[in-house]
Amino acid sequence: MKDRGMSTEDVGDSGFIAVTAMAGRFPGAADVEQFWDNLCNGRESVSVLSDQLSTAPAGYVPSYGLLSGADLFDADYFDYSAEDALILDPQHRLLLECAHEALERAGHGGPESRSTGVFVGGSVTDHAAFVRDWGRRRGAPISDSRVQQGNDVDFLATRVAYKLGLTGPAMAVQSACSSSLVAVHVAIGALLAGDCEMAIAGGASVLAAIPPLQHDPDDIFADDGRCRPFDAHGRGTVRASAVGLVVLRPLADALDDGDHVHAVIRGTAVNNDGRRKMGFHAPSVPGSAGAARTAALVADVDADEIGYVEAHGTGTALGDPIEVAGLTKAFRQSTDRTGYCRLGSVKGNIGHADAAAGIVGLIKTVLCVERGVLPATVNFREPNPAIDLAATPFVVNDRTVPWETEGRPRIGATNVLAYGGTNAHAVLAEPPAAPPTSPGRPTQLLVLSARTESALGDLAHSLADHLERHPETDLADVAWTLQTGRTRHTERRFVLASNLPEAIAALRACPSSGGPAADRAHRPRTVFLFAEPQPDGDDTTGSLAAIHAAEAVFRARLDEIAEAAQPHLGYDLRDHLLTEPGSASTPVAQLAVQYATAQLLMSWGLQPDLVAGQGLGSHCAEAIASGASAADFARSLGTAARPEPRRAPDADHAAEAQVRSDRPRLCDVQAALAAEPGRLLVHLGARQTEAPAPDLGQSVFVDVRDAPDRTPTGYRTALAAAGRVWVAGAAVDFAALHAGERRRRVELPTYPFERRPYLVPHPTFAATHHVSPSTEGERLP
């Protein structure tokens, strides 16, 4: 048996693919976490269709894996009118929401330019017919084009790409029951070929209605409404609705970029049975074996290293024995061991999700590999006598157990078969240890945004709840994920925190409004204001020393000023500022701090369009406008040491200081602060007030001062300025804010969609439509 342990140094060009996020909707579970909890607790989430039992004749399949709230959708978020939302097939709606959620879970939901592909499969539903009938009945027929675009599986992937702004390949992948796992295989090929840098892959199968299904002895559906994988009493499977997606990246890129890696897909394979089987619907041993064997060869994994297989496992008398025979044939190419590899199937829990079946199985396998637990195969009691398990490498996992590997990496596989013969197989392993992160600054800036105030409040409180449940979370990683991994909306808030308890308290205390809504269509101009130094400024020695020690840009600029000014001043300005109480109250010291603070803010992307200075503060304004170096600025401090005031520049003077077109422009302070309401003044202290700005348009003012009535310059004050400017809609370079750090993306609560019901009225399915928990069928006992 080979040792398959992997370090980050071994990754290189391995061709391995990281699963960096998962999202889904499952029977009995609104998200992946609840799905896993259901699996580990052996819950069966198939529902008895009580309405059908009372009206349908004998011989009808009495149960289904229902999705709660499948008619709910946040149409406003995705810019759909109410009518367009009604026309849109529920599986399109849910896939769109899950794709957005998956990217945010991956920490890549922000406005980055990374090329992302979309590869998904879906099921054929009756929703288009319902929409056409609805239009005719209300006397306003809906055009075939609108119905087609809102319902055909051809548009599943391209709709996601369009609405989320994704520019990689976008394609529907259709092969019946294996569609979604085949989509993963195709996505991996696109990643390895360089067609995209990241991919969303998976599928959806959400029926708009659950029509009565007559039992057919030649079909795969159980007349008793219960799926019993590999069991002697198995009579078939049960249909289900589900949505599942994974986010994929080349492993080396994911590790380099600080992504969370749930599992590593080491190899996949896809083939077709051809004519080597009993019929079009039947599986085959050679086909199943070929896909499993090829995937293991691609993964460079021997069969005796695989500890778990998530099988297709439909519970049919024909399908299960053929699948196990095919897997056994594949495993026998490299091992003769028996009874060591555990076998399971999620269909006992939720039923058969058609085009989404493969991705549901893959998500389960990823969770098993990551968390080291093998959930029980629900409804298994005694082996199907047509399966000679004792002669195979397999044992059905009949109870939830820890996945013991005796120190070796956990390696599992997912196997899918399909009507029509397209087989798919994937081999997964637990990931290498993530590279360590570096320490973050003592105070972190957490930013939140949403389309509405209510959603923003929900997001703040859900984040507080999450951090309370996960006290091990690194606050700097939380800040990084929120800053760079989320879509930016108009309603915004920020909080500052030095530790998780402070962050939790601040998030819970968030006001109902985060401040003036940002105008995404028009970037506000940013104005830096530099003040006349105050002779009686507070002692700021401690906070200046802290920011000097930790902020490289501030430290470099202040050190350069001190070195260049020393011949003129006769002393080391830096020593006075950082060690001598009261030294920061001198005019020279205050101007030096203002200049260094402005340079720090500019390094974070807060580039001013306009600058203005009062009195001696004009030295700073002119230096920033002209692009003067710290040394050049230091030479001007000799003027600042003299008591005579310096007049603010007039328009002609401002024009002379305009050296380059991309430099900020000087303006007069009094003009900038003349009476006109509705402009935001951002202090580096705790205050935030309204300030006027005539003839400057929508502007954000940053008061770059260290005045006696404000908190002294330091981490919190500089970060607060960045936060307030961001809330007002100006740009902040969050990557620059963490320059020199190694950060990790962490899973955080995703956008709280504000869903409303969109249900096309249709008399034939109102009673059985899966619209909410209140109208779900009864759970199986």
73-83 confidence digits (pLDDT tens): 999 999 999 99
Torsion of CA 528, 531, 533, 537, to 10 degrees: -90
pTM of the predicted protein model: 0.89
Among 179-193, 255-269, 618-632, where is mean pLDDT lowest?
618-632
Q: Rounded to the nearest 10 degrees, what angle do helices 552-569 and 587-603 cross at?
A: 150
Sorting pLDDT into bands at 50, 70 and 90, what band is 678? very low
As given in the structure block, the two tokens for residue 456 are 């923003």
Place of tokens 């003009």: 671
- Tell whether the model's pLDDT for residue 51 goes beyond 60: no
Q: How would residue 540 be classed by pLDDT, with cut points 50, 70 and 90?
A: low
Contact 771, 69 (CB under 8 A): yes
- pLDDT bin (cut points 50, 70, 90) of residue 535 is low
User: Residue range 198-204: average pLDDT?
Assistant: 98
Could you list the beta-strand ranges (E) of 549-679: 610-613, 665-666
Between 414 and 660, whose confidence is greater?
Answer: 414
Over 50: is that where the pLDDT of 682 sits? no
What is the percentage of the chain residues whose pLDDT exceeds 70? 81
The strand pairing partners of 316, in sequence order, are none
Find the distance separating the first CA and the last CA of the chain, reported in whole Å: 44
Mean pLDDT of 95-104: 98
Q: What is the pLDDT of residue 132?
A: 95
* 110 or 769: which leads in pLDDT: 110
What secondary structure letter does DSSP report for 176?
A: G
Amino acid, single-letter form, for residue 713: T
Instruction: Report strand pairing: 308-310 vs 411-416.
Output: parallel
Instruction: Find the helix packing angle between 541-550 and 715-727, rounded to 10°.
Output: 70
For residue 52, pLDDT over 60 is answered with no
Mean pLDDT of 576-585: 66
pLDDT over 90 (residue 548): no
Is 761 a residue whose pLDDT tops 70? Answer: yes
Q: In the predicted model, is pLDDT for residue 647 greater than 50? A: no
- Calculate mean pLDDT across residues 278-289: 93
Going from the C-alpha of 560 to that of each of 193, 439, 572, 591, 596, the distances in angstroms are 49, 26, 11, 14, 10
Give the distance, in angstroms, between the CA of residue 557 and the centroid of all CA atoms in the same chain: 37
pLDDT at residue 463, rounded to an integer? 97
**Percentage with pLDDT > 90 across the chain:** 59
Burial class (CB in 10 A: 0-12, 13-18, 19+), 102: buried
Give the pLDDT of residue 13: 59
Quick one: tokens of 732? Answer: 């902040």
Q: Mean pLDDT of all residues in the chain?
A: 85
More confident residue, 693 or 478: 478
Q: Show the beta-strand stretches assigned E in 302-348.
A: 308-310, 341-344
Alpha-carbon distance of 319 to 333, in angstroms, equals 22
pLDDT classification of 547: cutoffs 50, 70, 90: confident
Q: List C-alpha distances in Å: 606 to 653, 726, 729.
A: 24, 9, 11
pLDDT at position 285 over 90: yes
Read off the pLDDT band of 722 (50, 70, 90): confident
- What is the pLDDT, as a whole number, of residue 412? 98
- 3-state class (DSSP) for residue 491: strand
Q: Higher-confidence residue: 510 or 253?
A: 253
Q: How does pLDDT run across 311-331, given as a tens digit for each residue?
A: 999 999 989 999 999 999 999
* 38, pLDDT greater than 90: yes
Tell me: pLDDT of 300 over 70.
yes
**Is a pLDDT exceeding 90 seen at residue 699?**
no
Q: What is the pLDDT of residue 549?
A: 82
Q: Quick one: how far is CA 636 from the chain centroid?
A: 49
What is the pLDDT at residue 240?
A: 95
Instruction: Burial-class residue 509 by CB neighbours within 10 Å (0-12, 13-18, 19+).
Output: exposed
The tens digit of pLDDT for each residue in 420-429 reads 999 999 999 9
Is pLDDT of 9 > 60? no
Rounded distance between C-alpha atoms, residue 380 and residue 44, angstroms: 12
pLDDT mean over 461-472: 96
Higher pLDDT, 751 or 669: 751
What pLDDT is attached to residue 194? Answer: 96
Q: Which of 503, 699, 458 is nearest to 494 (CA)?
A: 503
Q: Give the helix/strand (H/E) hosting 423.
A: strand 422-429
Region 638-667 average pLDDT:
51
The lowest-confidence range among 232-236, 691-695, 726-730 is: 691-695
Provide mean pLDDT across the span 189-211: 93
Q: Residue 646's pLDDT is what?
A: 45
pLDDT value at 26 more than 90: yes
- Going by pLDDT thresholds of 50, 70 and 90, the confidence category of residue 669 is low
User: Looking at residues 117-137, what average pLDDT do you find?
Assistant: 95
Domains of the chain: 15-433+755-775 (3.40.47.10), 444-508 (3.30.70.3290), 525-733 (3.40.366)
- For residues 385 and 118, give the distance between their C-alpha atoms in angstroms, rounded to a whole number: 42
The band of 656, judged by pLDDT with boundaries at 50, 70 and 90, is very low
CB 315, CB 231: distance < 8 Å: yes
